[in-house]
Structure formats: structure tokens, C-alpha cells
Amino acid sequence: MRARWIVVLALLLAGCTGTPDSDGDPVTLRFQSLAWQEESVEANKELVKEWNATHPHVKVEYVQGSWDSVHDQLLTSFEGGEAPDIIHDASDDLADFAYGGYLADLSDLLPGRLKSDIPQRSWDTATFGDGVYGVPFLQEPRVLIANARWLKESGVRVPTPEHPWSWAEFRRITDQLSGAGKYGVAWPLKEPVSATLNLSLSAGGQLFHRGDDGKVTIRFEQADQTVPRTIHDQANTDHSASPTTLGGGGSDTLPGFFGGKYAMVPLGFSYRQQIAQQAPKGFRWQVLPAPAGADGLTQGVSPQTLSVAEDSPHKKEAAAFIDFLLQPENMVRLALGDWMLPTGTAALEDPALHTAKDGWATGTALAAHLRSAPAQSVRGYPEWKDKVATPAFQEYYSGAIGLGELRKRLEEDGNLVLARYQR
Amino acid sequence: MRTSTTGRVGQYAALLGYLVFLAFPFLWLVSTAFKSPRELGSLHPTWIPRHPTLDNFRQAFDEQPLLRAAGNSLLAALAAAVIAVLIATPLAYVMARRRTRLAKAATGWVVVSQAFPLVLVIIPLFLVLKELRLINSLAGLVMVYVVWALPFALWMLVGYVRAVPTELEEAAAVDGAGRLRTLVSVTAPLLAPGIVATALFAFITAWNEFFFALVLLKTPEKQTLPVVLTHFIGAEGVADLGPLAAAAFLATLPSLIIFAIIQRRITGGMLAGAVKS
């Protein structure tokens, strides 16, 4: 009888002190992080250290992952049953893993605090079917980084999140700023599809339309044309957009921007880190909201996410770690480290994210307008993007084809690709 | 005579142009590694950094365990090179000297095997290594590198073996040398440049390899240099250019040093005058 009480007492004590493995060893979770900037890696490692100091029975091991080839690396790890317990990725990479059964449905694992702290529009980016397969925690809008002195001297109206430029006004202003080998804007469009589609939401563009049967078709309608037409006309009609940057990445535009060749560069919000680091002394820059259309400042984003592997034997512990990592004050630390915006409403209220310095306040004001990227859950999107849309948009922006041909390729060729995934 | 001089000048000019073309990325990498962030963002890039700094190297070492990763890479690449050569040399000898159907089929298979994309083999390979408990192990990675390098190593060595005249081996046999003695004392020294070149190929293939290392090595302690280099690259290819260049420059040094040491061994000419025609 006494022995039975001792066993019960021991079990109760074990329950109170944590969740060790069945053999009594502490649980070890592997957390593969894709943080890469110095401050961001530091913030992640510090948070892991803090967790480990306060949770002796659930040890988290920090594993540095890499954005390069992360999809293939994870796929192999899932197939081989060797995936990390906690997975950092981007929401637009999750669809295949979620539908493939590799990720745990977090709907019942996450605490109410976290669920209610992150708005539904962000949860939508990681919701596939009926399940939630990732916690969206960092996101970045596309903004205009402007040469502040140039803008001031030109006398143009400087937009704010409350009074942004319309797309037509933006075109007019870039035209006004151009001349003598200088351009109003330099579009870095090495990856033209996501930039175009995400910005097109502001004008009400959807491109992907889901029918009653659940199948998705592509329709390139009037609202979808606003953004591509603006870029095309800036580059080919007004010559207010530099033609040389159209095929380059964001970093490629920075020397020209610092050198006074371009007045503005549309970039992801996190590029501010590079700009702050590389801008010549005395160079004054400011963050402006992207132009607005019929739907205001709305734009699509694919937030960074934290997921739990379906094969993980410690899903509850992994979810608890995610909850810890995404406590408002910790989310702020991660956001500051990555120069991005947190998704959590409590974190977004932190004063550190509302300073004028480095354009934080402008970016934070855009958070409420960020939606799930249009192609987020469309199966076949990666193939459509690589084989159809990327070359079509590149040719259109360079002036090689017109709007009719662009529409034909996006719709006709695109729907053939999507149909193969929806049989 | 005039035409000959013009032709020679043209040849040298072409050679110089080719050397500049080859050297450009490396020289630019070295220049970038010593530039400050502000100089990296300059519209007028310079070959020689105006304010050379070691900050990129400091940051690279502070942020990532480069030395440990370089040690792992060196270990994996050296082991892969030695094992690949040890296996490939006798096999290549047999394939070159015994021109049977089997040898021809093996040569065909070697060529075909080079066409397999990595993603096709990685999942089965991962499962096999998992069964062998060789995931997250440098031994497992070396095994993969050896298998991956073997076909081409074999192909290279078969060519070198065929270049060794059989008359030399026959002459040694006439002089009373046995099979083993002939192979060790006559054939092997003549094959040395080929063996060195093949080892170098296997070493560099393994040293630069990224994808297998990324997938097969799980813990930071085991990661190799190419994997660690990608930690300076963010989403959508954004890079921390200065530290990345500094780390990449360091990553090229072992290959350069090894090349510098053994390049004379690879240079042909060892067979010159071996046989009177």
C-alpha cells in the first residue's frame, strides 16, 4: 500500500516539475531557425538560452538553418523522419508540407493568448484546409525608400500612411523627378511575380479566383492591371524608371540610390538594415508607404512562421516553446533583430516600433493593411510562377510584349499549369 | 616571320584575356572582403578598397563558427579524396587494360550516372544512411562524397591508365618483374600525375559540396563550410555581403594552397622519353 503511494507521489512530482521523457530524461527539442542577421541570430539564441534556464525538463537545441534550399532540406528531413521539432520557414513554403501531412495541426496546441494576439488575416497565411500549420510571427510590407533631400527639394507632396499616393499620382511624381540621367524610381524586379501580385491587392487585384468547386482559375482583370501597367509605363513610356534595375535584386539598386541616380526604390521593409549600414554619411533617407489603389494600402505578404513537425513526439512542448518565443516582448526582440514587423497586436504596440527613426513608425502603420499573399494556398503556384509568370512579366516590363500578350500567357498558359494540380 | 609574331601576340592577348576572365571573380571577392559597408554601397566601385578594413573578417568569425566548419570540410574532403582514389585506381586499371564487355558497360554506366540530379537520389540516400545510423555523421557524408566522386574519378583514371604504354609493363615483365612489382614500380609512378589530379578533383568536389551536407548534417557542430556560408544569406537572396565575401575568400584558400603545392605534379611530361619510338 505504502509502495503504491510512493509511486503516485513520484508521478505527481514528475508532473509538477515538467514533462520529462518516459524514461525520465529531459525532453530535447530541436529548433531550426532561419534567422541570419547578426542581431536576429543573437536574439534567437538568447531566447533559447532563457527558455533552457527556466525549463530544465524541456531543453531546446538551437540549429542554424539556411534560407537557401530550405524546402528541399525540410522535405528530405520529413521523408527520412529526421525533421527538427520546431521549424522556421515562410508561409508561402508551407502549403506542400501541410497538405503532405508533414506538419502538425496547431489548432488545439496553441494557447488562447497567442491565438487571439495574432489577427485572423495573419492566421489565414498559415491555414490550409481546416488546419493551422504555422504561427505567423514576422512580416514585412513593401515600402518606398526615398532620398529625403531630393524629395524635399522637388517640392512634391510627401505621402503618409494616412494620405498615401495613388498609383496614378506615383507615376506622375516619378515622371516629375526624372531627367538628365536620373530616375524617379528604380524597380528591382528580379522576382517580378510576388512583387506585382502582392502590390496589386491595393488596387483590388486578385488574379487567382476560387470557384464553388474549390478549383482555382487565373483571370487577369482590370484591377490586376493597375500595378503592372504603372511599372511598364514608367519604364517604357515615361522613362521615369531605370531600365537597368528591372532584372536585378534589391541590393543591386542601392549603389545607384546612394549615388543619387534614383529618387526612390521599392523594397521590402527589412532592407532598411542594409540602407542604415551602407548609406554614405549625410545621406538622408525616409520610408514611404507603397502607393494605394481602390483597396487602399492593402498588400499581400508571406510572413515568417514557426511550425511543429507532425513526427515530433513532443508537440505540446514544442507549442509551449513557440508560445514562449512569441510572448509580446520576445516578438518585439525578434522583430527588431530582423528589421521586420511582428504580427502580434500587443507587440505592435511597443514604443520601439513607433519611432520615426529608420522609418519604423511608417512600417508599423501599414501592419493593419497586410493580407495573405494571393497565391499563398494555390497548388501549382511555384510552377506557374517559374515557367509562365516570371518570363511573361519580365518581357512585359522590358517592353518586349504588350498587355494583351501578357494576359494571354498568364491566363491561358497559367490555367493549363494549374489544371494539372487540380484534377 | 611577321605573321608568326602577330599570331603569337594574338595568342598571348587571348591567353591574358582568358586569365583576366578567370581571375576577375576571385579578385573582386578579395576586394569586397576588405571593403567597409559604406564602400560596398558606393556607386563607383573601386578595385583597391579606399579604407581597407578587417571588420568583415571579424564579423564573419564572430557570427559563425568558420574554423570548426573549415575543419569539418577539410576532414570530409581529404577523406573523400583519399578513399576515392584508393578505390578508383585499381578499378580504372582493370577497366583500361581488360577491354571486356563488362568494362565497356561499366564505362557506359559511369557516364549515365553523371546525369542523375541530386534531388532524385537524396531521399533514398537519406533513408539508407538513416538505417546505417550515418545521418549527422561526417563518416556518412564522406561515404556519399566517395560514391558521388567515384564515377568521374574512374573515368579520369581510365584515361590516364590508357596513356601509360603497355610496352613498359611488358618490358618490366621481360626484365623479370612480377605483376605486383610492375604495377607498383612501373605503372604507379607514371600514373602519379593522374592520381593527383583525380584526388584534387575529388577533394574540390567535396570541399565545395553544399546540398548533401545541408541535408545530412543536423547539428551545428558537424556543419561544413559551404553550409555555414549560406548563413550569411537571407530570404530572397539578400546577403550580408562584406562578411560573406570575407568568409568565402577564406573558403577558397585551402583549394588554392593545395593547387599551388601540387600543380607541378599534375603537369604532364612524366611520360616524355619513356619509350623509344
Q: Which amino acid is at B229?
A: L
Do the Cβ atoms of B238 and A278 come within 8 Å? no
CB contacts of B32 in chain A (<8 Å) are: none
Q: What is d(CA A193, CA A199) in angstroms, rounded to the nearest whole number? A: 10
pLDDT higher than threshold 80 for residue A420: yes
The residue to which cell 536585378 is assigned:
A248
Residues in CB range of B24: below 8 A, 6 or more apart: none
Q: What is the pLDDT of residues A339-381, one digit of tens each?
A: 999 999 999 999 999 999 999 999 999 999 999 988 877 888 8
CB contacts of A61 in chain B (<8 Å) are: 219
Q: What is d(CA A260, CA A254) in angstroms, rounded to the nearest whole number? A: 10
ipTM, interface predicted TM-score of the complex:
0.79
- Model-level pTM? 0.85
CB contacts of A270 in chain B (<8 Å) are: 234, 238
pLDDT higher than threshold 80 for residue A49: yes
Do the Cβ atoms of B230 and A68 come within 8 Å? yes
CB contacts of A259 in chain B (<8 Å) are: 42-44
Q: Which amino acid is at B56?
A: N
Measured in residues, chain B has a length of 277
Segment (H or E) for A227: helix A222-233
The residue to which cell 566548419 is assigned:
B69
Closest to B126 (Cβ–Cβ): which among A80, A250, A251? A80
φ, ψ of residue A132 to 5 degrees: the values are -110, 120
Least confident among A98-112, A302-316, B19-33, B171-185: B171-185
Q: Does B123 touch chain A (CB under 8 A)?
A: yes
Q: What is the pLDDT of residues B69-89, one digit of tens each?
A: 999 999 999 999 999 999 999
Q: Does A165 touch chain B (CB under 8 A)?
A: no
Do the Cβ atoms of B240 and A36 come within 8 Å? yes
Q: Does A72 touch chain B (CB under 8 A)?
A: yes
Integer angstrom CA distances of residue B133 from A66, A172, A186, B145, B146: 24, 64, 52, 17, 18
Q: What is d(CA B195, CA B205) in angstroms, rounded to the nearest whole number? A: 15
Q: What is d(CA B66, CA A190) in angstroms, rounded to the nearest whole number? A: 31
pLDDT higher than threshold 90 for residue B209: yes
Torsion A37-A40-A46-A50 (CA) sign: negative
Integer angstrom CA distances of residue A387 from A112, A393, A400, A413: 42, 11, 17, 9
CB of A146 closer than 8 Å to CB of A288: yes
Beta bridge mates, A289: A143
Q: What is the pLDDT of residues A155-179, one digit of tens each?
A: 999 999 999 999 999 999 999 999 9
